Structure 1
Amino acid sequence: MAALLSGCFAPAANDGGPSAALSPTAAGATDATISRPDQPAPSSYRYRLGIGDRIRVTVFGEEALSGQFEIDGGGAVTLPLIGAVPAENQTLADLQDTLTRRFRGGLLRNPRIVVEIFAYRPIFVLGEVRNSGEYKFRPGLSAFEAVALAGGFTPRADQRRIYIRRRGESEERAHDMARPVPVFPGDNLRVDERYF
């Protein structure tokens, strides 16, 4: 009986949580046939902030310094008293350390700061979808779900593949829609027209 019950509590290979959705293996894959979104993310992977991300900064005991802030077009976040702080390409922990040092520099004696993601930068779904445009990203989002957010395919759409240009890449890459294709904050997705 104990052996039977112990199997009920075995950890799942992938719970579909944000760390699995933001797997660097999937992010760096050049083709969906190479991508392994079913593999858990290595514990060393940490999300890097980008332009358009909104963060929540909590400075304990200093409500006037806390709030929600957006990373601007220059890659910085501007906070009360300390001004603009570079944030693009930093992890949440890196930015938290930077803010702690900046506030400690004569303003606060022993600042305790927490930085969290409030809203990820948007994705863009273009081409042969019913409602091209900007859409909110959520962890675990797939390319198929992103197309659904955009109203689905048009009758002329090539539903077999989707083209994605990831943040930091200059060219888009084709991905097979028959396999799960993960989407990441800031991605540009394009559905091409089908040729008969």
Structure 2
Amino acid sequence: ITNTVYPNPVVTLLSDDPDNVICSGTVVNFTATGGYNNYDFRINGSTVQTGASSTFSTSGLLDGQQVNVLVSSAEGCSTLSNSLTFTVHDAPIASAANNGPVCEGQTLTLTGGPGGMTTYSWTGPNGFSSLVQNPVVSGSATPAMSGVYVLTVTDTNGCQDTEQTNVTVNPAPQTDTIYRNPNQ
């Protein structure tokens, strides 16, 4: 009688995030080493993907969750990989508004939120940009300033969110020139 003892698979789980600290909604790509037939990727012990693929991606990790993979060899031997634990910071929720619609010649201002962000970055029509939370676009607005203004906010964890506001600058009303009739 000959008994064959097969070795357990050897597997390491890697992620493309160097420190496993991310912002909510960030896509993280995982790769399991080894070249085996079956990969059972798990988050907190629950299977999220199974099959022959040695890669797995998700954008739904929550703070403190652990990711690992159970691999199975062709001989039916299984091994659970190392676990990667993630710190997930909530992303800020940006808000963007304006004081429009305004008439040509009036002051055009933008309002961004939330307060307390590390950076505010506005972009808009005609090359407009500002790093101020609530910038004045112009003290004398023109219709050319109409359009979409985009705000990106960044918090102390480096997490970002983007929001936009649509600005309308109405042209000043045209006035007719009235000439006095010289024959009167």
Higher strand share: 2
Higher helix share: 1
TM-score by length of 2: 0.27
TM-score by length of 1: 0.26
**More relative contact order, 1 or 2 (CA 8 Å, 6+ apart):** 1
